[in-house]
Amino acid sequence: MTQRRALIVGTGGALGPALVSQFAKAGYVVDAIVRRSQSITSTEAAFTQACDLTATDSARRILDRWAAQRGGVDVVVFNVAALVAGTFQSLALEDFERSFHASVGAAVICVQAVLPGMLERGAGTLLFTGATASVRGSSGFSAFAAAKFALRGLAQSLAREYQPRGIHVAHIVLDGLLRGSPSVSRFAGKPSLALDPDDVAKAYVWLAAQAPSSWTHELDLRHHEERF
């Protein structure tokens, strides 16, 4: 049996290492893409590539080279975002562009790199990390919400275009803060009410294992005491 391969794009922060770990425990050969080489913390990835996905031309070259060297991939997890916060009048157009390039532009580059191989095989899974801001814009988060709404729309369009061709596309709404993330203290969150990164990552593995007869497109995750 050929071993399954997963690519985790965005392995920094609290969730990234958990995604690498849980997919590795599930038997996947895991490749990881991080923005900076000094952000590499996981030793469970079979291959790690530093790549700034907002640098469009160089990112395309790096991902195309990765795809040629590593071969096909069964699961891609896109876990990249730029948390741009501030009152609307304090934000410049460049702030909106930076958030959009991180959440949507980088996703486009990644999907275009892996999709040809998936379509050739007629199988593959694309998982996108969303947030509360994907479905509800909040005061002070206009740039972040605009980008996350756009990523959700991209995932919906990809699902409708490629699901009939065997590609499972799912968008995961993380409705809450991640335990171990700087955001918990930054936004005065309670660690006891934060999402456990390992439990979240296990949900991604579960999505990747779903049978084509019952695919989930959108899954929202939150602590059981979180208000919504």
In the 8-state DSSP scheme, what is residue 142?
Answer: H
What lies within 8 Å, CB to CB, of 100 at 6+ separation is: 146, 147, 150
For residue 34, what pLDDT is reported? 84
Instruction: Give dist(CA 203, CA 137) in Å, integer.
Output: 25
Q: Let me know if residue 207 belongs to a domain.
A: yes
Q: Let me know if residue 226 belongs to a domain.
A: no
Average pLDDT of the segment spanning 194-217: 95
Neighbours of 136 (CB within 10 A): 14
Q: CA dist 143 to 14, 28, 97, 150, 171, Å?
A: 22, 35, 8, 11, 19
Residue 58: domain span: 5-221
Q: What angle do CA 131, 33, 95 make, to 5 degrees?
A: 50
Average pLDDT of the segment spanning 154-169: 97
62, pLDDT greater than 70: yes
For residue 38, what pLDDT is reported? 46
Q: Let me know if residue 39 belongs to a domain.
A: yes
61, pLDDT greater than 50: yes
Average pLDDT of the segment spanning 213-224: 94
Q: Is 93 helix (H, G, I), strand (E, B) or coil?
A: helix
Q: Looking at the DSSP assignment, which residues form a beta bridge with residue 155?
A: none
What is the tens place of the pLDDT at every residue in 118-143?
Answer: 999 999 999 999 999 999 999 999 99
Average pLDDT of the segment spanning 158-164: 97
199, pLDDT greater than 70: yes
Instruction: Give dist(CA 157, CA 161) in Å, integer.
Output: 6
Q: Let me know if residue 228 belongs to a domain.
A: no
Q: Let me know if residue 120 belongs to a domain.
A: yes
Q: Let me know if residue 185 belongs to a domain.
A: yes
Q: CA dist 36 to 10, 12, 33, 73, 188, Å?
A: 10, 9, 9, 22, 28
Q: Let me know if residue 126 belongs to a domain.
A: yes
Say how many domains are in the chain: 1
What is the tens place of the pLDDT at every residue in 6-36?
Answer: 999 988 788 999 999 999 999 999 998 887 6
Q: Let me know if residue 34 belongs to a domain.
A: yes
Domain containing residue 203: CATH number: 3.40.50.720
